[in-house]
Amino acid sequence: AIWNLGSINLDLVYSLSHFPAAGETLAAQAFHRYLGGKGANMSVAGARAGATVHHIGAVGTDGAEMVGKLTDTGVKTDHIAKVPVATGHAVISVVAGTDGDAGENQIILFPGANQTLTKAQVAQALDGAKAGDIFVTQNETNMQVEACRMAAEKGLRVCYAAAPFDADAVAAVLPYLDFLILNEVEAAQLAEATGQQPEALGVRDVIITLGSKGARHIDCTTGQTHDVKAFRVEPVDTTGAGDTFTGYVLAGLDQGQSMAEAMETANRAGAVMVTRHGTSDVIPTLAEVNAADLT
């Protein structure tokens, strides 16, 4: 099984004619609400890839809808706490049309319940985990360091997705990691912050996703690298590609696949994902990924 300590957000997306100026009241042209947060996205991806995924997180009293969306995709939600603060949410303004700021967005993020996880909650959740299971977390909640340490002590394989990037956050979890997953920008930020190449960090496996260039695995024990080339697709929306890739890679590893096999499927899933508008709602299922006509 996969144990994901991660954020759960309500994404409120407003389509506007322009960004409002100070003091202006502006009616939106369209409105959608989605399940978001890197944590939730990875849980959905893992579940759609066929893995058993337990999400460890927190929502507010207004969070039943988000928990429901996770449950609907097959994610186990028993370890999502309900706390008396707002569910994490993002207010996202997108300018419609083709003029001026068209296509640009502005995002207000309120972490809310995502910052209220407790050590007792994590310990209780991990009581249900067994050695060899996979633990994953990102940088959108509290308790990451403690949770990585507890998971490592229990013999879980510990993975950290270094997003949103924070050099101190990576440094703090590094001693507990088996896997580190980064995109190209985060990998550059990490090299800059540490002055070291990823293989020198003491982590067993590093995966760097490279967008339209595919992905690279570095086996840090041997120093060997393995690249997968991206499939050729017409991207329309790249949000959530990295989260989808991570969920799929971990699902493959959890099911006993080699890193090369897991990355092959994850690379397919990422390619399908960028051809779709949306985020957690459109993360493809394994059946869709296998059926996709990719070259």
Q: Provide the minimum distance between the beta carbon of 171 and ligand ADP in the complex, in angstroms, as a whole number.
A: 20
Stretch that binds ligand ADP, among 39-47, 56-64, 129-137, 205-213 (CB under 6 A): 205-213
Annotated binding site: 9-11, 37-41, 140, 183, 209-214, 237, 239, 242-243, 267, 273, 276, 278
Residue nearest to ligand ADP according to CB distances in the complex: 242
Q: Quick one: tokens of 196?
A: 């070291």
Pairing mode, strands 30-36 and 9-16? antiparallel
Q: Which of residues 209-248 bind ligand ADP (CB under 6 A)?
A: 209-212, 214-215, 230-231, 233, 235, 238, 241-242, 245
Q: Which of 194, 195, 192, 190 is nearest to 207 (CA)?
A: 190
| Choice among 101, 168, 205, 243 that is catalytic | 243
Q: Provide the minimum distance between the beta carbon of 244 and ligand ADP in the complex, in angstroms, as a whole number.
A: 7
| Inter-residue contact 157 to 134 (CB < 8 Å) | yes
* Residue 262 interacts with ligand ADP (CB under 6 A): yes or no: no
Residue 141 or 183: the one with the smaller Cβ distance to ligand ADP is 183
Q: Which of 256, 239, 230 is nearest to 1 (CA)?
A: 256
What whole-number distance in Å separates Cα of residue 46 and Cα of residue 193?
30
Q: Which of 75, 65, 139 is nearest to 147 (CA)?
A: 139
Q: Provide the minimum distance between the beta carbon of 40 and ligand ADP in the complex, in angstroms, as a whole number.
A: 15
Annotated binding site for ATP: 183, 209-214, 242-243, 267
Assess whether 219 carries a catalytic annotation.
no
Q: Which of 146, 139, 183, 189 is nearest to 160 (CA)?
A: 139
Residue 241 or 250: the one with the smaller Cβ distance to ligand ADP is 241
- Other C-beta atoms lying within 10 Å of the C-beta of residue 72: 11
Residue 116 or 246: the one with the smaller Cβ distance to ligand ADP is 246
Residue 51 or 263: the one with the smaller Cβ distance to ligand ADP is 263
Residues 6+ away with beta carbon under 8 Å from 282: 240, 273, 276
Upper half-sphere CA count for residue 99 (Cβ side, 13 Å): 4
Q: Provide the minimum distance between the beta carbon of 163 and ligand ADP in the complex, in angstroms, as a whole number.
A: 6
Residue 74 or 214: the one with the smaller Cβ distance to ligand ADP is 214
Could you tell me if residue 214 is left (phi over 0), alpha (psi between -120 and 50 degrees) or otherwise beta?
A: left
Q: Provide the minimum distance between the beta carbon of 210 and ligand ADP in the complex, in angstroms, as a whole number.
A: 6
Summarize as ranges the residues that interact with ligand ADP (CB under 6 A).
Answer: 183, 209-212, 214-215, 230-231, 233, 235, 238, 241-242, 245, 267, 270-271, 274
